[in-house]
Amino acid sequence: MINERPLLAGVCGFPIAQSRSPMLFAHWFDEYGIDGHYVPLRISAEDFASTIPVLIRAGFRGLNVTIPHKQAALAIADQASEAARAIGAANTLIFHEDGAIEADNTDAFGFLVNLREGAPEWVSEAGPAVLLGAGGAARAAAHILLEEGVPELRITNRTREKAEELAHHFGDRVTIIDWEDRSDALANAALIVNSTSLGMVGKPALDLSLDAAPRGAVVTDMVYNPLTTSLLAEAKARSLKTVDGLGMLLHQARPGFRAWFGRDPDITPALRARIAP
């Protein structure tokens, strides 16, 4: 026990029923013999700020937050990591014993570790990265890819204004490609990232031709349900290296677990098998 508070944390979103995080934390509690609890909390946007002090009083050590609370989570924090500030959103809150709230964004970390693990041959300097999407997950990927040193980040998004916001925020290595021209954006790309929700179960597939993708390009999808999206299936058929989105989900949870329960948990094949859709 790292302090006297209950071994208690949770994930807060609206909706929340689809979250795999409780299963993930249950696995780690079993694995490390921790008598902990990780609770899914369905909290609306209007109730978010007033719920946090209640959770702190109830002894929560922290919280993962998901849509629609990621910006509000950053706003209520007393201190924030460099990643959370740069991304403009937080997915992990740490409630310190003195009452201070610390915000972190671990999506960027999860994205990068998953990419490096799945495609160790990828080096950031190899060439432009193409980012499909300009939502919250795209912001995390843009931050870490630029920090890692990609020479150019091509962002393409259905709603062009959101891509322009990202370009404005992240600076002059970002170029914007019209959504209609997304397939052409792949020419000489070293990395192709889907951060849209297209390809997810219940959503249309991502319509993207990989004809222009170079032979050595790495293709990664943040969608993890299904594990092999049509984008990844098409990339595999062309013998491109692919990285699915499940590892990002697993790795992004590690910093919270470490902060709340005192141990950096392992990502094992058994865990992947338990959490995979």
Of 107-126, which residues contact ligand NAP (CB under 6 A)?
107, 110
Of 80-99, which residues contact ligand NAP (CB under 6 A)?
none
249 touches ligand NAP (CB under 6 A): yes
265 touches ligand NAP (CB under 6 A): no
Q: Are strands 218-221 and 191-194 parallel, antiparallel or unpaired?
A: parallel
Residue 40's nearest CA partner among 59, 61, 65 is 65
Distance CA 192, CA 190 (A): 7
DSSP string across 97-118: TTS-EEEE--HHHHHHHHHHHH
- Spatial neighbors of 62 by CB under 8 A, at least 6 apart, are 9, 92, 93, 94, 95, 256, 259, 260
157 touches ligand NAP (CB under 6 A): yes
Catalogue the E-assigned strands of the chain.
Answer: 8-13, 37-42, 62-65, 79-80, 92-95, 101-104, 129-132, 153-156, 174-177, 191-194, 218-221, 241-243
Distance CA 239, CA 227 (A): 17
Distance CA 105, CA 66 (A): 11
Nearer to ligand NAP, 103 or 134 (CB): 134
| Of the residues 90, 137, 155, 232, which one makes contact with ligand NAP according to CB under 6 A | 137
245 touches ligand NAP (CB under 6 A): yes
CB 43 within 8 A of CB 72: no
128 touches ligand NAP (CB under 6 A): no
The first and second tokens of residue 188, run together, are 């000489």
224 touches ligand NAP (CB under 6 A): yes
135 touches ligand NAP (CB under 6 A): yes
| Of the residues 16, 24, 108, 134, which one makes contact with ligand NAP according to CB under 6 A | 134
Nearer to ligand NAP, 190 or 249 (CB): 249
- From 43-51, 123-131, 164-172, 222-230, span contacting ligand NAP (CB under 6 A): 222-230
DSSP code at position 4: S
Nearer to ligand NAP, 167 or 223 (CB): 223
Distance CA 122, CA 238 (A): 17
70 among known catalytic residues: yes
- From 38-46, 146-154, 216-224, 256-264, span contacting ligand NAP (CB under 6 A): 216-224
145 touches ligand NAP (CB under 6 A): no
| Of the residues 10, 118, 136, 256, which one makes contact with ligand NAP according to CB under 6 A | 136
| Contacts with ligand NAP, 187-206, as mask; x by CB under 6 A | --------xxxx-x---x--
Least distance (Å) from ligand NAP to the CB of residue 250? Answer: 8
CB 225 within 8 A of CB 201: yes
Nearer to ligand NAP, 7 or 246 (CB): 246
Burial class (CB in 10 A: 0-12, 13-18, 19+), 157: buried
Enumerate the active-site residues: 70
Residues lying near ligand NAP in the complex (CB under 6 A): 67, 107, 110, 133-138, 157-159, 162, 195-198, 200, 204, 222-224, 245, 248-249, 252
